[in-house]
Amino acid sequence: MIRRSAPRHTARVPTVPAWLLVLPGLLALQAAADPARVAVLPPKPVDAVSAAAAPRFSALLLKGLAAHAPDVEVLGQGRTGKPGRREAAEAFASGMQQLEALQFDQAAATLGRGVAVALGDPANIDFPAVRQATVQLAVARFRMRQEKEARAALAELFRVDPSFTLPPGRYAPAFLEAVEKARALAARLPAGTLRVDGPEGWQASVDGKPLSRLPADFPGLRRGTHYLRAEGPGGEVRGAAVEVAGAKTQVRIDPADPVPPPEVLPAATQAFGERLDQYCQAVGADYALVTLLHAEGDGLGAGAVLYSAKVHGFEALPAMHFDAALARAPEEIASLSDRIAETVHHFGPLATLPLELSPQPGASPSNPRLSLREPWVPATAPLSVAASGAPQPAGPVLWAGVPWWVWVAGGAAAVGIAGGTAYGLSQASRRGTGTVTATW
């Protein structure tokens, strides 16, 4: 008889599903990936500030936010958070993944939807991305043996951009033959000239070409829909889809904002906050940046506040000081942009209202005072009286717009999950004791 050693069993314990462990991190990453949408209202000049200073400061402010606050999506002044670049980019990424997985029907539908969404927002079209997506849409159609549909997509691409070329060595000869047929089809369409007029200082671009100062002529456009983007001297943006139907088509840029912002007042008030709520909803923003230019001796100053449509309140931002020529303004705007990038992630404490945006009489230019008087209480919030007798808004304490108990509960759950899982894994690695009798 051969004696065999009895096998030793290892104790096992139930473990928590892995997705529960990574869920808090995924949610945090998603929140970090979504840019904060900030509507920038046109700066308002007061006192002896020239009207020309406001658009110059506005252009510098928009440029500074783009450079120093990459996690902030600037809206307002013609820019909206409605479907456009962001949704189109998501569709393009999904369509490319589907194409790589050889899911041609799904890829064609996704890419086609992305192109339609992008072209539906003429002021914010990412033309290189649209062109690339159109080529991949044609590839998907071609792989499904839908050559007619593939040529139609390519012909529309060459109608808008006759000079577009494909990178060499990446496509099959049969597909390149379809490409040249589509190019020849687009070239047979009659061409016309688009004349664009507009206010002084405005520039315009058609189909993603370089900007031209208005008035401007854009010749050689194949008849059909073309996409116009105009930019004002203060950073304003307008867009339109224009139908070129004849030898010459003429359009004029309307400088009026399609979503007019509320007028900036010398002080932030509850009524002003309610109007900002409506404006943020109209343009799809989470926050609104309000600035007011005022005279400071021989120079200029700017008061700024940030309004949150999430918690319905204001937070005061550092005042800015620069020369009348705005030569030092970029440095001040860089510091302001850094502060805004921090504030949108940790908003608060809320400022009491009314909140003055310009210095009070007697304040020195180097240290202007902000007037903080009666607190603003949203109309829906009940009042409670503190021990000092000053009215305070009742309700839960918020952090990033979420009640404190949600953060506590979420933190406790995360700690519990992590601790329980660590214990389970430690027990899973322990060997059990005892003897098991087995017969062979």
Of the candidates 257, 277, 261, 260, the residue with the CA atom closest to the CA atom of residue 269: 277
d(CA 131, CA 24): 37
Mean pLDDT of 327-350: 90
- Sorted by sequence, the CB contacts under 8 Å of residue 257 that are 6+ apart come out as 77, 78, 236
Bridge partner list, 241: 227
CB 91 within 8 A of CB 111: yes
Q: pLDDT band at residue 304, thresholds of 50, 70 and 90?
A: very high
pLDDT at 126 over 70: yes
pLDDT tens digits along 134-193: 999 999 999 999 999 999 999 999 999 999 999 888 899 999 999 999 999 999 999 999
**Strand (E) or helix (H) holding 83:** none
pLDDT tens digits along 181-234: 999 999 999 999 999 999 989 999 999 999 999 999 999 999 999 999 999 988
Show the tokens assigned to 32.
């970090």
Q: Which of 329-333, 372-376, 432-436 is predicted most confidently?
A: 329-333
Alpha helices per DSSP H over 217-321: 270-283
**CATH number 2.60.120 is the correct assignment for the domain at 35-77+265-384:** no
Of the candidates 175, 161, 263, the residue with the CA atom closest to the CA atom of residue 206: 161
Mean pLDDT of 405-429: 54
Burial class (CB in 10 A: 0-12, 13-18, 19+), 23: middle
Q: pLDDT band at residue 419, thresholds of 50, 70 and 90?
A: low
Give the largest Cα separation in the chain, rounded. 110
Q: What per-residue confidence (pLDDT) applies to 204?
A: 95
CB 124 within 8 A of CB 84: yes
Q: Indicate the pTM of the whole model.
A: 0.64
Q: How many residues does the chain have?
A: 440
d(CA 16, CA 412): 16
Q: Are strands 299-308 and 237-244 parallel, antiparallel or unpaired?
A: unpaired
d(CA 277, CA 397): 21
Show the tokens assigned to 306.
């940030």
Q: What per-residue confidence (pLDDT) applies to 106?
A: 96
Mean pLDDT, the chain, rounded, equals 78
d(CA 170, CA 432): 59
d(CA 61, CA 47): 20
Q: pLDDT band at residue 347, thresholds of 50, 70 and 90?
A: confident
Task: Name which residue leads in pLDDT, 381 or 259.
Answer: 259
Q: What per-residue confidence (pLDDT) applies to 414?
A: 57
User: Any idea which architecture 85-187 has in CATH?
Assistant: Alpha Horseshoe (1.25)
Show the tokens assigned to 162.
């006759």
- Sorted by sequence, the CB contacts under 8 Å of residue 54 that are 6+ apart come out as 42, 43, 44, 45, 234, 293
pLDDT at 127 over 50: yes
Q: What per-residue confidence (pLDDT) applies to 395?
A: 41
Of all residues in the chain, what percent carry a pLDDT higher than 90? 45
CB 191 within 8 A of CB 222: yes
d(CA 149, CA 172): 18
Q: What per-residue confidence (pLDDT) applies to 207?
A: 96
Ranges for all domains in the chain classified under CATH 3.40.50: 35-77+265-384
Mean pLDDT of 93-103: 95
Q: What per-residue confidence (pLDDT) applies to 403?
A: 52
Alpha helices per DSSP H over 35-84: 53-68
Of the candidates 214, 254, 261, the residue with the CA atom closest to the CA atom of residue 237: 254
CB 229 within 8 A of CB 237: yes
Q: What per-residue confidence (pLDDT) applies to 340?
A: 92
d(CA 324, CA 294): 10
Burial class (CB in 10 A: 0-12, 13-18, 19+), 76: buried
The residue with tokens 């309610």 is 274
d(CA 333, CA 304): 11
d(CA 205, CA 212): 6
Q: pLDDT band at residue 435, thresholds of 50, 70 and 90?
A: very low
DSSP 144: T
d(CA 292, CA 267): 9
Show the tokens assigned to 150.
């593939």
The values of phi and psi at residue 429, to 5°, are -90, -5
Q: For CA atoms 41, 47, 51, 57, give the dihedral sign.
A: negative
Q: pLDDT band at residue 33, thresholds of 50, 70 and 90?
A: low
CB atoms under 10 Å from CB of 6, counted, come to: 11
The values of phi and psi at residue 193, to 5°, are -115, 135
What are the CA-CA distances from residue 144 to residues 23, 178, 354, 405 (Å)? 38, 14, 64, 54
